[in-house]
Chains A and B, each alone.
Chain A
């Protein structure tokens, strides 16, 4: 898996490429728009991270030019602006994603993985498993250690999202986006509420805890 980072800030390049490296990716970097465009146009990448404000050619132009060349590499846009540009929304609809700075690395990672999966999804999964917890996506049932667990729709959706992203820390923003389709900071503790309810249903009666809180970052479903 090879990822291209087009970003003019050396510090950001450094920590993002270090993190991606540790997650098992091969990382290529470009520090200005022209260089980034050439690399993206001539090499095969599994995903690209593109900053908007770049010297010599801005990120949105790169994406526009790349798309007219029919190169469909999934791209995550990095933006320092809070206001979501209409064009970014446009790109987002085309299967891409965006993140505003400052961003958390774990969120970036989850989004990249989601993009790569989306672009290479080949087989339909009918069931998900984590240790002795299993989910049947067709009958919409969940059981742990053979014992059925009754979940409300939102709890089910959250668990599915966690199980599809096992071992990955999911931020509240990501959860809000995926479960409630809510695209901004809601300033509410609803995620905590759902997580704690889900936890009481799947973890409370078992010694082996699966759903963990990573303080300041988010939640993760993982085997110990």
Chain B
């Protein structure tokens, strides 16, 4: 279980970040350590060598001026004086037979007799004598005094070895301490900085588990990339939530809206089946149910269009649309209907282009024109203006119909709302809802001015592209 916990923590980004940084830290400290250690080691070696060689030079000078006895006396004196920086001195003849040997008492661990076996005439060679019971060494250098005398001076590396060991140990302890501190602090800070990611993770898991889209990620109110992700996620959740709500809502509305025509449909069909003898009546009832089914399909399509347009899921096949041309073709069609009752349609237009779905726009404007023709009195005129403004395009459709009573205006865009005034004129009550939904889906707007004396004016604004 413990292993699993560790394995799991590897999956956390903040843990991994801390780990990566710690590894980089260890690696660079290691390199630093190796370099500084080598540098220290070299410089200590060099200074020891210099010291010893200087001493040798001194004795050589002493020998040249005062002879061998003076050298021996000086060695005795110095070895006594500089007890804290001990050295050994050995005088040998050309056959490498020890003539004189002086060394600190503590150095009995070194086999100084070995010196007799190492050829004395090789002046360049650094002589190394190992200790019997420790890792310490003696390093000795030889000087040629005269034909008969060779002087060897050696010092112990114990001091430098000790220093280096100390350095090494301390460095490792320091490193370990820093590492623990660094990893701890790194883990702490990265976990702090990455808390939005954990919040996100937690909230999403929660939403998936409960299906509750009203949950939101906690925003910290600072502005960085991670906060931006949180904000964007919240916006997306908002959108999803409203879409789900609208879809549920739409489903309810569609079910409700279709119940009435379906009931009528069923009623006609029942009539048809109950009158098997009266063929004419049965035929009549069947025709009515066919008509009703036609109406149901048409309503279903319109309701779905409205729902999709309102929820923003209506697929718009937008293109660079010549609105003037479209309006003209619509007028040609409705003027044909208007002719029956001597209704004329006039157009005052300039060329206007918008980025829109031609089928939907034709449907929307067609609906308004259809209303205008339907409600206009005989021998009247419908006036259409298409204007090109600086930042928008305005389409005005003015009829001289009965207008819309003030009390009805707030409701005319509602689905299935029909003014009590027009109960005997056929219509579904879906037309204006569709118009508004389509116009809104194109980022346009629509307004209405109406009076019972002058008729209605519909104004549609399209944004310019």
Contacts and interface: CB of A to CB of B under 8 A. Distances in A.
Contact of B431 (A187, A190, A193, A194): A187
Which of B288, B302, B370, B431 has the most C-beta atoms of chain A within 10 angstroms of its own C-beta?
A: B370
A188 to B, nearest CB: 5
A82 B304 CA distance: 9
Interface in A158-195: 180, 183-190, 193-194
Given A82-B301, A188-B370, A193 B287 contact: no
A215 B337 CA distance: 21
B337 A190 contact: yes
B203 interface: no
A39 B288 CA distance: 40
Nearest to A196: B340
A216 B302 contact: no
Contacts of B297: 102
Contact of A216 (B294, B336, B367): B294
A83 interface: yes
Interface in A117-156: 154
A184 B363 contact: yes
Nearest to A179: B333
Contact of A189 (B289, B292, B337, B363): B337
B366 A193 contact: no
A194 B335 CA distance: 12
Contact of B298 (A83, A187, A214): A187
Contacts of A217: 290
A215 B370 contact: no
Nearest to B363: A184
A185 B337 contact: no
Contacts of B298: 185, 187
Contacts, number: 54
Contacts of A188: 333-334, 337, 366, 370
Contacts of B293: 102, 216
B109 interface: no
Contact of A183 (B301, B359, B428): B359
A193 B336 contact: yes
A51 to B, nearest CB: 18
B226 to A, nearest CB: 39
A190 B367 CA distance: 12
B366 A216 contact: no
Contact of A187 (B304, B334, B370): B370
Contacts of A83: 315
A1 B338 CA distance: 44
Given A185-B301, A186-B366, A216 B333 contact: no
A189 B289 CA distance: 19
Interface in A70-126: 82-83, 102
Given A186-B363, A187-B370, A187-B431, A215 B288 contact: yes
Contacts of B287: 214-216
B319 interface: no
B215 to A, nearest CB: 33
Contacts of B302: 185, 187
Contacts of A82: 301, 304
A180 B366 CA distance: 13
13 contacts: A185-B298, A185-B301, A185-B302, A186-B366, A187-B370, A187-B428, A187-B431, A193-B337, A215-B288, A216-B286, A216-B287, A216-B288, A216-B290
Given A184-B359, A216-B293, 16 more contacts: A82-B301, A82-B304, A102-B293, A102-B297, A180-B333, A185-B298, A185-B301, A186-B366, A187-B366, A187-B367, A188-B337, A188-B366, A214-B287, A216-B290, A216-B291, A217-B290
User: What 9 A-B pairs are tightest by C-beta distance, nearest first?
Assistant: A216-B290, A215-B287, A216-B291, A188-B370, A193-B337, A216-B287, A185-B298, A190-B337, A83-B315
